[in-house]
Amino acid sequence: MVRVTEPLLLAVVVATALAFDFTNGFHDTGNAMATSIATRALKPKQAVLLSASLNLVGAFLSLTVAATIAKGIVDSDVVTLGVVLAGLTGGILWNLLTWLLGLPSSSSHALIGGVVGAVLAAAGTSGVLWDGLISKVLLPALIAPVVAILVASVGTRLVTRFTRDVKQDDNDRLFRWGQIGSASLVSLAHGTNDAQKSMGIILLALIAGGAVPADSGVPFWVILACALAMALGTYLGGWRVIRTLGKGLVELESRQGMAAETSSAAVILLSSHFGYSLSTTHVATGSILGSGVGMKGASVRWSVAGRMFLAWLITVPAAGIVGALAYGLGALVGGGVGSFVVFAALIACSAAIWMASRKDAVGHHNVNEDWKPKKDNESILAESVVDHDMKLMRVSKKGKRRKLGGK
Amino acid sequence: MGTYVEWDALGNILLWGLVVGAGLPALFALGVRIAEGPGARDANGRISTGRKILSGICFGIAALTVLGAVAYIAAGGH
């Protein structure tokens, strides 16, 4: 680790790490709460508030923070503050881009990808431990959803079998609680696990910058700042991702939601217990798919799932390219000014993505709307001609038809 | 491939994942069935004490597991 004495660079890295922490919460709300929102076990606002509170509590629950980043994946000697900054930039931009597309993707993989890209730019291929990258990142991305699909489909099959002749109202009323309990557990585990990553990055930066001694624990303000950034991100809710997870993959009911979230919580906690970390996002998505596979008569939109798997496969290379570009930009300008330029570019790109998202904004008001392609006016006309039914063209007083076509 | 995937850990995750991740919802569902399934309510719409106790045990185990998981997270196991 190269010692850095530029306080400005340190401040920029800390701010960027907090920004990443924010996008992490923002992007991952859906992992815990999409099912509860889709089945209306909780109102959208209630769900994100509950999840944010539990993420906040989770961040304080356990503090086994280590000042490492991408350990065993890149050579730790080449990780400088410039690399960390570029890596964070790659992670944030990939998180925002996948959010714009409504695709859940792993925040930790995005960060690792960004760092790997930055290391490649800084030190060449020798800086990356390729075996570690394959065994700790790429293969688990394929394995995690398979395990989760299996567990959740078995759970869903058992649950629906046991309750097949229970009235739907009773099922919904009772499973609602099971759903809230299991989803809360996923939120709590997320707060503990992911907030610690950002704390670790900031600790690493503080040590490198000489602001705290090398054997220092995490200062309280770092814990507080990380917990708040993640909770705020969670509360603002990545509604686009929530919508895809809750409505896009499977039409969920409360029994499936409960089975899916319990499967997620169990697989996530067990994987860290057995020391084979699986990404929360991959497990949660797999569980939701599994709850569709295990439900008789339910259809799974595999085309949506396929887009997701593709995004997971390109997460590391895509974030890596951004990370490498960011590192190149910083090195080109050089020094503290370079880090400011990278930071400014990050803000500009983030603002552009946010502007693009406003075109078809998804929020708590429309997160549960039906998942089907919007009809344009021409297809409505064509349908009415083919079916010889003029009524299809009628515009209702509330303008619902027009709304469907107009967007 | 053998060195790239930790098969032992993966096997354990799958096994215990099925026991807890699928078993717990099944147990909960059993509780729902006992409490609200066919024949659970008598002519007056009441649930018998025996059924209440049995379903309570099912829900209780589920709730205890959640609390246990919280304790596990807090103890730094995660």
The shortest CB-CB distance from B73 to any of A62, A175, A181 is to A62
Q: Is A369 exposed, middle or buried (0-12, 13-18, 19+ CB in 10 A)?
A: exposed
**DSSP 3-state of A300:** strand
Are the C-beta atoms of residues A117 and A75 closer than 8 Å to each other? no
Nearest to A96 by CA among A231, A247, A233: A233
The shortest CB-CB distance from A188 to any of B33, B35, B70 is to B70
Q: CB contact, 8 Å: B38 with chain A?
A: yes
Q: What is the full DSSP assignment across A214-261?
A: TT----HHHHHHHHHHHHHHHHH--HHHHHIIIIISB---HHHHHHHH
The mean pLDDT of A265-272, rounded to a whole number, is: 90
Contact A151 B22 (CB under 8 A): yes
pLDDT value for A339: 84
Find the closest chain B residue to A264 by CA distance: B21
Q: Which contacts of A299-306 are long-range, i.e. CB under 8 A and separated by 24 or more positions?
A: A299/A250, A299/A251, A300/A249, A300/A250, A301/A248, A301/A249, A301/A250, A301/A371, A304/A244, A304/A248, A304/A249, A305/A249
Q: CB contact, 8 Å: B69 with chain A?
A: yes
pLDDT value for A319: 95
Q: Which residues of B are less than 8 Å from A176 in CB distance? A: none
Q: CB contact, 8 Å: B20 with chain A?
A: yes
The shortest CB-CB distance from A263 to any of B3, B22, B78 is to B22
**DSSP 3-state of A18:** helix
pLDDT tens for each residue of A306-322:
988 998 989 999 999 99
What residue spans define the domains of chain B? 7-74
pLDDT value for A399: 46
**Is the pLDDT confidence value at A300 over 60?**
yes
pLDDT tens for each residue of A33-71:
999 999 999 999 999 999 999 999 988 887 776 767 777
Q: Which residues of A are less than 8 Å from B66 in CB distance? A: 181-182, 184-185
pLDDT value for A112: 92
Contact B16 A270 (CB under 8 A): yes
Contact B10 A276 (CB under 8 A): yes
ipTM over 0.85: yes
Instruction: Name the percent of chain B lying above pLDDT 70.
Output: 94
pLDDT value for A393: 65
pLDDT tens for each residue of A321-358:
999 999 999 988 877 788 888 999 999 999 999 989 88
pLDDT value for B15: 94
What whole-number distance in Å separates Cα of residue A271 and Cα of residue A281? Answer: 13
Pick from A25-39, A103-117, A267-281: least confident: A267-281
What whole-number distance in Å separates Cα of residue B23 and Cα of residue A190? Answer: 23
- Written as one letter, the residue type at A239 is W
pLDDT value for A395: 58
pLDDT value for A315: 93
How far does the CA of residue A155 sit from the closest CA of chain B (Å)?
A: 4
Find the closest chain A residue to B41 by CA distance: A166
What whole-number distance in Å separates Cα of residue A286 and Cα of residue A369? Answer: 22
Best A73, A137, A163, A180 member to test B by mutation, with max B CBs in 10 Å, is A163
Are the C-beta atoms of residues B72 and B78 closer than 8 Å to each other? yes
Q: Which residues of B are less than 8 Å from A58 in CB distance? A: 73
The mean pLDDT of A282-298, rounded to a whole number, is: 91
pLDDT value for A281: 92
User: Hey, which residues does B41 pair with through a beta bridge?
Assistant: B47
User: Hey, which residues does A300 pair with through a beta bridge?
Assistant: A250
The mean pLDDT of A91-114, rounded to a whole number, is: 92
Q: Confidence class of residue A2 from pLDDT cuts 50, 70 and 90? A: very low
Q: CB contact, 8 Å: B67 with chain A?
A: no
**Is the pLDDT confidence value at A403 over 60?**
no
**DSSP 3-state of A109:** helix
Q: Which stretches within B1-78 are classed as H helix?
A: 7-16, 23-36, 49-74
pLDDT value for B64: 93
pLDDT tens for each residue of B60-69:
999 999 999 8
| Residue A86 or A402, more confident | A86
pLDDT tens for each residue of A363-401:
888 888 887 655 666 667 777 777 777 666 665 554 444
**Is the pLDDT confidence value at B76 over 80?**
no
Helix (H) or strand (E) holding A263: helix A254-273
pLDDT value for A396: 52
Nearest to A137 by CA among A163, A160, A111: A111
**Is the pLDDT confidence value at B23 over 70?**
yes
Q: Confidence class of residue A161 from pLDDT cuts 50, 70 and 90? A: very high
Q: Which residues of B are less than 8 Å from A65 in CB distance? A: none
Measured at the CA of A196, the angle between CA A83 and CA A121, to 5 degrees, comes to 15
Q: CB contact, 8 Å: B45 with chain A?
A: no
How far does the CA of residue B48 sit from the closest CA of chain A (Å)?
A: 17
Contact B22 A269 (CB under 8 A): no
- A227: tokens are 């917990």
What value does the mean pLDDT of chain A take? 86
Distance of CA A41 to the CA centre of its chain: 21
The mean pLDDT of B4-12, rounded to a whole number, is: 85
Q: Confidence class of residue B47 from pLDDT cuts 50, 70 and 90? A: confident
Highest mean pLDDT among A73-77, A374-378, B25-29: B25-29
Q: What is the full DSSP assignment across A37-50?
A: HHTTSS-HHHHHHH
How far does the CA of residue B68 sit from the closest CA of chain A (Å)?
A: 11
Best A53, A149, A154 member to test B by mutation, with max B CBs in 10 Å, is A154
pLDDT value for A375: 60
- Chains A, B: CB contacts within 8 A come to 151
Instruction: Name the percent of chain A lying above pLDDT 70.
Output: 91
What whole-number distance in Å separates Cα of residue A359 and Cα of residue A378? Answer: 22
pLDDT tens for each residue of A200-249:
889 888 888 888 888 888 889 999 999 999 999 999 878 999 999 998 89
Sign of CA dihedral A201, A202, A207, A212: negative
How far does the CA of residue A351 sit from the closest CA of chain B (Å)?
A: 35
**Is the pLDDT confidence value at A407 over 70?**
no
